Amino acid sequence: MHVIDSHTVGEPTRVILDGGPDLGDGPLAERARRLQDDHLDFCRSVLREPRGQPAMVGALVVPPTDPDCIAGVIFFEADMLLGMCGHGAMGLGVTLAHLGRISLGNYAIETPAGIIDVTLHDTNTVTVTNVESRRVRKGVSVDVEGLGSVKGDVAYGGNWFFIIEPSPIPLETRNIGWLASAAAAIRASAIAAGIGGEDGQPVDHVIFHDRSDRHNIHSRSFVLCPDDTYDRSPCGTGCSARLACLWADGRIAPDEEITLESIIGSTYRASCRPGPSGGIVPKITGKAWVMAESQLLFHEDDPYRRGISL
């Protein structure tokens, strides 16, 4: 299996170029469902230890259905698929450039959430123009054991987010374990209470936002991903959902650029403009670096060829 590993301001992506499962033809969303329903062993073997690492996201490159797109991609974690992945799209952009498949410029890429644009500014700097994002619920309360009533916004940025501001816990690296436990409890309570998208889509990410101590940083965040690991980047789809909330509250102007910071101090630049369906079209800019190009081997006698599961 031919893979290229990159990281986007600290968050890793593994792009699978060949050797993945045969998902057949048809719309990308249908092929993604086949991956989810029939090939989770593949996802786990690629991302779990000993081959992978907890924060890694997979990006399976597949043929697009739209002829205007240079590639199709299905993003996934070890146990579930992602509709979109902002850091993964940046990682894919620098990977395709590393392979000589693209040069500087703008390219359309098909994802299960819709078509995105990736602009490669230089070897490492990428802007992702994401799918239209929106806030669907403002100030909804959920009762969480140990935390009491927690109020947040539900928003879509390619994935589904419950966004809390200000954070109930100081956004400091020494609190990462505490933040992760609290965010997981909030997500479980939100799902149990039926809090999510308009059509019943469950919340899969939780974000705590608060002020940053750094100059010219709009806000700092902690993002819990579906696999219960925290995002080392500011989270591209999370930034998109965040922009949708800021827009709905009149706290950001069209094309106004702000800088958003992750729990480890890495940053994205973000802006938005009105979308065609009443939401916003986000633009997220960050940096990614290729780390390795390799062949993954799967031996039949390897007891951990499908990854370590505890």
Residues assigned a catalytic role:
85, 235
Q: How far is CA 35 from CA 29, 75, 77, 94, 205, in A?
A: 10, 10, 11, 25, 21
Provide the 3-class DSSP secondary structure of residue 133. Answer: strand
Q: Specify the amino acid at residue 68.
A: D
Judge contact between 155 and 241, C-beta under 8 A.
Answer: yes
Q: How far is CA 167 from CA 185, 187, 211, 236, 273, in A?
A: 14, 15, 9, 19, 27
In the chain, what is the straight-line distance between the N-terminal and C-terminal CA atoms, in Å?
25
Report residue 201: phi and psi, to 5°.
-65, 130
Quote the CA–CA distance of 252 and 45 in Å, as a whole number.
42
Which class for 117: exposed (0-12), middle (13-18), buried (19 or more C-beta within 10 A)? middle
Provide the 3-class DSSP secondary structure of residue 138. Answer: strand
Q: Residue 221's closest CA among 278, 193, 212?
A: 212
Instruction: Give all strands (DSSP E) within the chain, no chain letters.
Output: 2-8, 11-18, 57-62, 71-76, 81-82, 105-111, 114-120, 125-129, 134-144, 148-156, 160-164, 205-210, 219-224, 258-261, 267-274, 280-295
Name the CA radius of gyration of the chain, rounded: 18
